[in-house]
A and B are shown apart, each in its own frame.
Chain A
Amino acid sequence: MDTRRTLLCLLGAAWVLFPPALPAQEVDRAALLLQVDFVHKLIEESSAAKQVEEAGIPEAAELRATARELYEQAQQELKAEALPAAKALLDSATKKMFEAVRAAGKDEVVAEKRGVDFDNRLASLDALVKALGEISKEKGKDSAALLAQLAEQRASAVSLRTSGDLGKARTVLDGAYQQTRQSIEELRRGDTLVRSLNFASKKEEYAYELDRNDTHRMLLEVLSKERSGEDKGLEEMVQKLVATANEKRSQAEHEASMQRFENGIALLEEATTQLIRALRLSGTYIPG
């Protein structure tokens, strides 16, 4: 669809939905009917309603009863076509129900999530402190005092958690976390680390080549989805290359099963080369 048509359509839609003369207080009937349904679900069916029911706290039950009353009144106003009044009542009913939910106590739901959040942050602190130790060693910096202090903060956070003070535990934990991240930042600032490829064995290199082969296969799949046009001739050439690649790959797998990883690697490299050709044919730039 061309841009002009899109714009016209959009303008049309905008004009219909927001006519310039529409007074601000006008209540939209369709929206109001939808709100009636929403408020009903909120008070009677939602997870929030269930919580108020199950908590068995009189204050919460009372607030919910008030919300129900307001909802009924809104229904009456709606029948009398008094839309603004109905809307105001629905809004109040919603607010009352929120109060009911809060009165029903949020401790359990919230505590469970906070616990999970704490554990995740703790795992992250441990990983980063370990890295900090290794980086200090590599850089010849004595971080013993810092590491000891971090270990102490960690222990204190964990014991606070065990004794039930999750809020304070998290504060102490976050302190240690910020300190660690800052120390790593100072030591590593401006560094470029190279993860070079050195295979410990031919078997390992073979595993790497398998991954590479999968990689190219899947790239071909994903990138062909990016194309919208169909080109039969090109498709055929691609299929032929893929077929050769498949053949080489199963030969490679056979070699590997006989523990001849060297041969396996060579065959996989050939298979992958076919796939690279196919990728290039379908328009992906791969140098070399």
Chain B
Amino acid sequence: MKHRTLAGRFVAAAATVVICAGAAATGLGAADPNSFNRLLASPSERNAPPTLDGIHDPQNPGTALLQSPKAAFELLPKSPGGNYVNWVKAVQEDKIQPRYDRLDANAKPIPLDMNIVREVKGSMPDVVYPHKQHTEWLDCANCHPSLFVPKKGANPISMAEILLGQKCGVCHGKVAFPVTECARCHSLPKQKKDQQAVAPAGK
């Protein structure tokens, strides 16, 4: 008897899920030409729970046990794209304490405080690559030498390659903040650069 009610519950759960997914889909399809945000993805489409996200199988008993990203992100600083979380700030503000070592919860990274400015020809602001934010998360060996040779002049990078998932695009546009957040990389406007004292070391 009990089992039958349980099985019944599953059917009901699956039905709820289908209905919700359907509602989500129609919500997307019927675009109101005068909607307030025409281009911005609506918040209800963000951080969907595993049962509704289209890649998990809602029929799988384990799926409902998984955490919804929305619940986890509630307390984290926001950003306009990707997970809609600013992970740099989340760590800086001690909102999360991701381990640096698999077992030792107290191990701390020693970040490398070194910026690389890459001038661009056009009117876009120059790109500042900060080692500091990266070495908070990553090991030197993640990038050197497989993605970048630690040597002046050895790394031609173009935005096209980044969009194709190479160079910076190995992470940005996949796991780290997406390429649509231009200003976080193109952060040094042309005029300001002349005033800023930069060490001549890299020239």
- The chain A residues found within 8 Å of chain B, CB to CB, are 1-3, 5-6, 9-10, 12-13, 16-19, 26, 28-31, 34, 81, 83, 120-121, 123-124, 126-128, 130-131, 134, 138, 177, 181-182, 184-185, 188-197, 208-209, 211-212, 214-215, 217-219, 222-223, 226-229, 272, 276, 283-288
B44-55 interface code vs A (CB 8 A; 1 in, 0 out): 100001011000
- Other-chain residue from A26, A121, A123, A288 in contact with B122 (beta carbon distance below 8 A): A288
Contact yes or no, B23 A185, CB < 8 A = no
User: Of residues A18, A127, A212, which shows the largest number of chain B Cβ atoms within 10 Å of its Cβ?
Assistant: A127
Given A13-B64, A286-B122, 5 more contacts at CB 8 Å? A3-B43, A124-B146, A134-B151, A218-B159, A229-B31
How far, in Å, is B92 (CB) from chain A's closest CB? 18
How far, in Å, is B164 (CB) from chain A's closest CB? 8
- Chain A binding surface SS class: helix
Q: In the complex, A26→B159 CA distance in Å?
A: 55
Q: In the complex, A217→B141 CA distance in Å?
A: 33
Contacts A/B (CB < 8 Å), 8 sampled: A1-B24, A29-B7, A123-B146, A193-B202, A197-B121, A211-B160, A228-B31, A287-B123
Number of A-B contacts (CB under 8 A): 184
Contact yes or no, B64 A222, CB < 8 A = no
User: Of residues A1, A28, A177, which shows the largest number of chain B Cβ atoms within 10 Å of its Cβ?
Assistant: A1
**Interface residues of B, count at CB 8 A:** 69
User: Which residues of the other chain, A, contact B33 by a CB distance below 8 angstroms?
Assistant: 229
- Other-chain residue from A30, A126, A215 in contact with B7 (beta carbon distance below 8 A): A30
Contact yes or no, A214 B39, CB < 8 A = no
User: Of residues A17, A81, A128, A190, which shows the largest number of chain B Cβ atoms within 10 Å of its Cβ?
Assistant: A17
User: Of residues A28, A185, A191, A195, which shows the largest number of chain B Cβ atoms within 10 Å of its Cβ?
Assistant: A195
Q: In the complex, A285→B123 CA distance in Å?
A: 11
Interface hit among B12-20, B82-90, B99-107 = B12-20
User: Which residues of the other chain, B, contact A126 by a CB distance below 8 angstroms?
Assistant: 145
User: Which residues of the other chain, B, contact A211 by a CB distance below 8 angstroms?
Assistant: 158, 160
User: Which residues of the other chain, A, contact B43 by a CB distance below 8 angstroms?
Assistant: 3
User: Which residues of the other chain, A, contact B159 by a CB distance below 8 angstroms?
Assistant: 215, 218-219
Contact yes or no, A127 B149, CB < 8 A = yes
Contact yes or no, B116 A189, CB < 8 A = no
B9 at the interface (CB under 8 A from A): yes
User: Which residues of the other chain, A, contact B170 by a CB distance below 8 angstroms?
Assistant: none
Q: In the complex, A206→B98 CA distance in Å?
A: 45
- Other-chain residue from A123, A191, A196 in contact with B201 (beta carbon distance below 8 A): A191
User: Of residues A5, A6, A188, which shows the largest number of chain B Cβ atoms within 10 Å of its Cβ?
Assistant: A6
- Other-chain residue from B124, B146, B202 in contact with A286 (beta carbon distance below 8 A): B124
B73 at the interface (CB under 8 A from A): no
Contact yes or no, A193 B123, CB < 8 A = no
User: Which residues of the other chain, B, contact A228 by a CB distance below 8 angstroms?
Assistant: 31, 38-39, 41
Q: In the complex, A17→B49 CA distance in Å?
A: 14
Q: In the complex, A245→B183 CA distance in Å?
A: 25
